[in-house]
Amino acid sequence: MRLPLLMLLVAGCGDRPDAWTAALDVSGPYPLVDSVAWVDGARGEIFWLDPATSPPSVLTLAAGRTASFALPTPDRKRLLVLTSGREATKRGQTTIAPALLVVERMGAAPAVTATYPLTSPFDRLAVAPDGTRAIAFYSASPPSDPAFFRNPNELAIVDLTSAPDANTNPAHRTIRSLGSSPLGVVYAPPLQIPPGMGDERALAVVLSTNYVTFLDLAHGDRSEITVPLVPIGSSATVTPEQVVFSPETATVFVRAQGAADVFALALAAQTPTDPAENDFVPRINQPSTGKTALDMILYNDGASTILLTANASNDVALIDATTAEFSTLPMGAPVDSILAVPPGQPTTAVLFSRSSPQSFVQFVALKDLSANLARNVTRRTLAQPVHDLVATPDGNQLIVVHDDARTVISILDLGPRRTDTPIDGQVVLQSYAFAGSRFLAGVSSSLSRLGILDLTTLATRDLRLDYAPARVLSVGTRLIVDHGAPEGLVTVVPDATSPREDTRVLSGIFLQRALDAELGN
Amino acid sequence: MRKLSCVARFVLVAFVVVVAARSPARAAQEVAVRLSAELGGDSGLYATGGSKTLLQAELGYAHTVYSFRRGQLWVEGSWTIGERHDRLFSTFDTSLLVQQFTVGARATFPIRPWLVPQVRGGVGALLGTLRMNGLQSGAVSETGAGFTGYVLAGLQLLLPRPWMALHASRGITAGLVLEGGYCYSTSLRYTLSPQSSGDAVQMPSVPTDLGTLSLSGGLIRIGALLRF
C-alpha cells in the first residue's frame, strides 16, 4: 500500500511556481502608434497587439514583472514601464531590481531597448512632451512593498536619449520638502530667461501641496528651487492642479485648489556665485483678481499674452501675463472648463461646466477680447446638458457629450453658423475614439454594439459585437474594442466602414502561449 | 475531428491486433489494473495542477504468443486514463483529461514461478482534452492528439499456486506488478477560440495559441493482475 500512497503523494506535491496561481495583474490597454499593449506585472509579460497584420496578431515579450505603472510616450512610439522590483524570499525566486523599461517595436516584434536601473520602487512617471526625459516618483498610494523606510520626495530623473548608467542616468535626487511630497510633474516648453535671450532651458515643475519645486533638467548638479504657495507657518492648504507656461514672458502660472487667485511665477535671470546655484530665480506674484480659478488657458492676442481663467464666481478673468493687469467678464452661469480651439494657437475659447452641467456652451472670441469683453461672447443652446466637450481631430467640430441615454452626443459645427446636430442613442456613451479624422466610434458596456459616426456626413452605423465592450481605442484608422475580459478579448475592426465579416475577434490574449511559459516564483 | 477519427481507427486496429493475435493453445491471458505516475512532464502541466506528475489508471489485457526456454512473449493492449484540474491565475478553472490507447509486446523471464521480471514496450495514441472555464468568450474544451510510446522494466509478484510447479501448466493466479521506465509523447498543441453560441452569426475569430503540452517523462507503475 505504500507505493500507491507514495505515487499519490508525488502527484500531489505542489512544487508549482507561484506565478501559476497568482492573479493576473494586467494594466492597459496602452494605445501606441501602430499597436496596442497590455502589461501583466504578475507574470512579467507584455502583450503587443498588431492590428495591421492579417490576421491581427499578438506578440508576447517576457518583461515587466512587478510592473507598477506604464505610460506611452507622447509620440506613442514607446511604452515606458516602471517595475517596483522585489527581493527573493523563497527558494527558486529571483531578485528583481526596480527599473524603468523602454519597450518599443524593433522590426516586427517588440523589445526592451533600454533598462534604466532605479534605486527605489517608484510607481508614477511623468514624461516630457518631447519624450526626451522622464521623472519617476512615488504616488500618494500606500506603498505595496514592505520597505521599512520610504522617502516620498525622492525622484529619478531619466534622460531617455542617453544609455542607462548606474551612476548618472537616471539621476536620483531628493527634493526639498515643506511637509508634502510630489503630486505630479509638469514640463515646461523650451524657455529663455529672460525671454528672447540666452539658451533655452529645460525646466520641470514638481507640484506638491502648498509649494512647487523648479528643477533645471539640463543642470542636475544645481539645487532645486522651492516656491511656497502659502506663507510659512500658515494653516492654509492649497493643492496645485494646473500649470501653464508663457515662454513669451518667462512666466509660469499655477492654478491651485484652495487658492483665491492663480499664482504667477516670473522667472528672472540671476548671476550665480556658486556652480550649484541656479542662474534664474522665480518671483511669485498673485495678480489679485480675487477669483478662485477652476480652469485656465493662455493665448496670444497681438503682442499681448493673456491668461484666461474660468472662475468659481461665474465669470472669467483676463490677466495680462506681462503686466498682471486684469479684467473680468461675467458669464451668467457656472463655468469651470475651458476648451481652447484650436489647441495650439487658440482663437476661440469654449466655456462650459462639468460640475454643474448646463444646456448651453459659451463661445468666447479671443481676438480683442480685452477690449470687447461681453461683445465677444455668444451662447449656444443645446438640447441636453453638456458634460464634456472634445474637439474633433480636424478641429472643425466639437463633440458635445451628454449624460443622457437618448441624446448621447451632439456635433457642434465650429463654422460661422455653429449648427448643432444631436445624435440620439440608447445608452450613455462610456468610451469613444476617433478613427482617423473622419469617424467617431463609441461604445457602452450595456450594449454590445460599436456605434460609428461619420463626422463629414453625420451618417451613423452600428457594428454588432459578439461581446459587451469596455473601451474602444483607435490605431490609425483601425478600431480596437477591448471587452475587458480576464483572458484578454478584443475585436479588431480594420476600418470604420468595415463589415462584420472583415472584423476579427481575438480571445485569450493574456493566455497566449501560457502552456509554454516558464514562470517562476 | 480529423485527429479523433485517426485515433479511433488506430484504437480499432490495435484492438483487433491484440485480441486476434494468434496464441498457442495453452496461452496464458492476463487482465491488469495499474496505477501510473508520469513524472517530469513540461511546466505547462502546472496550468492544470500543482505538480508536473500526471497520475493515471490503466486497464490492460495481454496474452502469450510465444514461449522460449523459461520465458514468454506477450502481446498487450491497454487503455490509460487520468484527469487533473485546478485554477489557473486564480481566475480560470482548468482541467486536463488524458487518455492513451497502446499496443505493445512484453517479455517475461520467470526466476521463480511467483517471481517474474519483465520488460515491455509499446506505442499508441494519446488524447488530451484541455478544458478552461471562466472566460468571457465562453468555456473552452479542446482535444489534442499525439503519438505515445513506452519502455518499461519491472517485476511481477504472483500468488504461488500448485499448478505453477508443473511444466507448461496453466491455471489462475493473481499478483502485483511494479515497473518503471520512460514514456515518450509528441506534444499536444492547443489553441483558444471563442465558443460558438448556438446559431448566432459570430464575427470571424483568430485562434490564440495556448502553447503545447509534452507528457514525456519517467514513468512508475504499480498494478494488480489476474492471470488465467
- Phi/psi of residue A59, nearest 5 degrees: -110, 145
Residue B8 within any structural domain of the chain: yes
According to DSSP, the residues that pair with A286 across neighbouring strands are none
Q: What percent of chain A has pLDDT over 90?
A: 64
Closest CA to A427 of A412, A449, A410: A449
* Residue A184, CA atoms < 13 Å, CB-side half-sphere: 10
* Structural domain count, chain B: 1
Interchain CB distance below 8 Å, B222 and A55: no
Q: What percent of chain B has pLDDT over 70?
A: 86
Dig out the grid coordinates for A511 from the structure.
493566455
Note whether A163 contacts B: Cβ–Cβ < 8 A. no
Span A382-438, pLDDT tens digits: 888 999 999 998 888 999 988 766 668 889 988 877 788 888 888 888 899 999 889
Spatial contact of A365 and A337, defined as CB atoms under 8 Å apart = no
Does B162 have pLDDT greater than 80? Answer: no
Q: What percent of chain A has pLDDT over 70?
A: 96
Using an 8 Å CB-CB cutoff, list chain B residues near A17. Answer: 46
More confident residue, A1 or A93: A93
Spatial contact of A10 and B53, defined as CB atoms under 8 Å apart = yes
Domain extent for B7: 2-191+208-227
Q: What confidence tier does A107 reach under pLDDT thresholds 50, 70, 90? A: confident
SS3 A10: helix
Helix (H) / strand (E) element for B86: namely strand B71-88
Residue type, A3: L
Q: How far apart, in whole angstroms, are the C-alpha atoms of residue A108 and residue B84?
A: 38
Does A242 have pLDDT greater than 90? Answer: yes
Q: How far apart, in whole angstroms, are the C-alpha atoms of residue A459 and residue A437?
A: 15
Count other C-beta atoms under 10 Å from residue B102's C-beta: 25
Using an 8 Å CB-CB cutoff, list chain A residues near B212. Answer: 515-516
Closest CA to B159 of B115, B197, B122: B115
Spatial contact of B193 and B205, defined as CB atoms under 8 Å apart = yes
Q: How far apart, in whole angstroms, are the C-alpha atoms of residue A140 and residue A181?
A: 8
**What is the average per-residue pLDDT within B104-109?**
94
Sheet with strand A360-365: strands edge to edge: A337-341, A348-352, A360-365, A377-381
Note whether A489 contacts B: Cβ–Cβ < 8 A. yes
**What is the average per-residue pLDDT within B95-112?**
93
Q: How far apart, in whole angstroms, are the C-alpha atoms of residue A183 and residue A98?
A: 21
More confident residue, B67 or B97: B97
**What is the average per-residue pLDDT within B202-209?**
91
Using an 8 Å CB-CB cutoff, list chain A residues near B208. Answer: 58, 506-509, 511-512
Intra-chain end-to-end CA distance of chain A, in Å: 34
Nearest to A518 among B43, B89, B202 (CB): B43
Residue B66 within any structural domain of the chain: yes
Residues in chain A: 521
Using an 8 Å CB-CB cutoff, list chain A residues near B202. Answer: 466, 505
Closest CA to B102 of B2, B218, B184: B184
Nearest CA to CA, how far is B78 from chain A (Å)?
19
**DSSP secondary structure code for residue A4 in this structure:** H
Does A209 have pLDDT greater than 90? Answer: yes
Nearest CA to CA, how far is A16 from chain B (Å)?
5
Residue type, A70: A
Residues 463-482 of A with CB under 8 A from B: 465-467
Residue B125 within any structural domain of the chain: yes
Spatial contact of A505 and A490, defined as CB atoms under 8 Å apart = yes
Interchain CB distance below 8 Å, B210 and A508: yes
Nearest to A507 among B43, B49, B208 (CB): B208
Nearest to A504 among B178, B206, B212 (CB): B206
Residue B200 within any structural domain of the chain: no
Domains annotated on chain A, with CATH: 25-174 (2.130.10.10), 183-285 (no CATH), 287-429 (2.130.10.10), 430-521 (2.40.10)
Note whether A509 contacts B: Cβ–Cβ < 8 A. yes
Residues in contact with A3: Cβ distance below 8 Å, sequence separation at least 6, in sequence order? B178, B222
Note whether A519 contacts B: Cβ–Cβ < 8 A. yes
Span A363-382, pLDDT tens digits: 999 999 988 999 999 999 98
Using an 8 Å CB-CB cutoff, list chain A residues near B39. Answer: 10
Residues in contact with A157: Cβ distance below 8 Å, sequence separation at least 6, in sequence order? A133, A134, A135, A170, A171, A172, A173, A215, A217, A220
CA A316 to chain centre: 26
This prediction has a pTM of 0.88
Note whether B203 contacts A: Cβ–Cβ < 8 A. yes
Q: How far apart, in whole angstroms, are the C-alpha atoms of residue A255 and residue A319?
A: 13
Residues 146-165 of B with CB under 8 A from A: none
Cis peptide, bond prior to residue A189, ω within 30 of zero: no
Closest CA to B52 of A356, A231, A12, A163: A12
Residues 9-48 of B with CB under 8 A from A: 35-37, 39, 42-44, 46-47
Nearest CA to CA, how far is B186 from chain A (Å)?
15
What's residue B25's pLDDT? 46
- Phi/psi of residue A502, nearest 5 degrees: -90, -10
**What is the average per-residue pLDDT within B184-194?**
92
Q: How far apart, in whole angstroms, are the C-alpha atoms of residue A102 and residue A87?
A: 22
Spatial contact of A442 and A472, defined as CB atoms under 8 Å apart = yes
Residue B196 within any structural domain of the chain: no
What's residue A414's pLDDT? 85
Using an 8 Å CB-CB cutoff, list chain B residues near A485. Answer: 135-137
Note whether A52 contacts B: Cβ–Cβ < 8 A. no
User: DSSP string covering A410-473, please?
Assistant: EEEE-STT--EEEEE-SS---EEEEETTTEEEEEETTEEEEEEEETTT--EEEEE-SS--SEEE
Using an 8 Å CB-CB cutoff, list chain B residues near A508. Answer: 135, 137, 140, 192, 208, 210
To probe the interface with A, which of B89, B136, B189 has the most A CB atoms within 10 Å? B89
Nearest CA to CA, how far is A486 from chain B (Å)?
7
Nearest CA to CA, how far is A66 from chain B (Å)?
15
Find the closest chain B residue to A512 by CA distance: B210
What's residue B8's pLDDT? 62
Interchain CB distance below 8 Å, B135 and A513: no
Spatial contact of B216 and B185, defined as CB atoms under 8 Å apart = yes
What does the mean pLDDT of chain B come to?
Answer: 86
**What is the average per-residue pLDDT within A146-174?**
91
Residue B68 within any structural domain of the chain: yes
In this predicted complex, what is the ipTM? 0.84
Residues in contact with B113: Cβ distance below 8 Å, sequence separation at least 6, in sequence order? B158, B160, B164, B165
What's residue B28's pLDDT? 82
Does A2 have pLDDT greater than 60? Answer: no
Residues in contact with A406: Cβ distance below 8 Å, sequence separation at least 6, in sequence order? A424, A425, A426
Note whether B206 contacts A: Cβ–Cβ < 8 A. yes
Interchain CB distance below 8 Å, B212 and A24: no
Nearest to B53 among A11, A17, A466 (CB): A11
* Residue A517, CA atoms < 13 Å, CB-side half-sphere: 29
Interchain CB distance below 8 Å, B47 and A465: no
For A231, counting Cβ atoms within 10 Å of its Cβ (0-12 exposed, 13-18 middle, 19+ buried), the class is exposed
What does the mean pLDDT of chain A come to?
Answer: 90
Note whether A494 contacts B: Cβ–Cβ < 8 A. no
Nearest CA to CA, how far is B177 from chain A (Å)?
11
Residues 416-455 of A with CB under 8 A from B: none
More confident residue, A446 or B27: A446
SS3 B17: helix
Dig out the grid coordinates for A96 from the structure.
528583481
Intra-chain end-to-end CA distance of chain B, in Å: 39
Q: What confidence tier does B60 reach under pLDDT thresholds 50, 70, 90? A: very high
Span A480-491, pLDDT tens digits: 999 999 999 999
What's residue B228's pLDDT? 84
SS3 A399: strand
Radius of gyration of chain B (CA): 21
Range of lowest pLDDT (A23-37, A73-87, B192-206): B192-206
Interchain CB distance below 8 Å, A519 and B46: yes
Interchain CB distance below 8 Å, B135 and A507: yes
SS3 A133: strand
Note whether A415 contacts B: Cβ–Cβ < 8 A. no
Find the closest chain B residue to A514 by CA distance: B210
Residues 165-184 of B with CB under 8 A from A: 178
Spatial contact of A386 and A400, defined as CB atoms under 8 Å apart = yes
Does A359 have pLDDT greater than 60? Answer: yes
Residue B112: give its domain's CATH number: 2.40.160.20
Spatial contact of A319 and A328, defined as CB atoms under 8 Å apart = no
Distances (CA, A) of A211 to A183, A263, A324: 11, 11, 21
What's residue B1's pLDDT? 46
**What is the average per-residue pLDDT within B4-29?**
59
Note whether A462 contacts B: Cβ–Cβ < 8 A. no
Residue B199 within any structural domain of the chain: no
Note whether A276 contacts B: Cβ–Cβ < 8 A. no
Spatial contact of B39 and B217, defined as CB atoms under 8 Å apart = yes
Find the closest chain A residue to B178 by CA distance: A3
Residue B26 within any structural domain of the chain: yes
Does A28 have pLDDT greater than 70? Answer: yes
What's residue A15's pLDDT? 74
Interchain CB distance below 8 Å, B205 and A500: no
Does B52 have pLDDT greater than 80? Answer: yes
For B52, counting Cβ atoms within 10 Å of its Cβ (0-12 exposed, 13-18 middle, 19+ buried), the class is buried
Does A178 have pLDDT greater than 60? Answer: yes
Note whether B50 contacts A: Cβ–Cβ < 8 A. yes
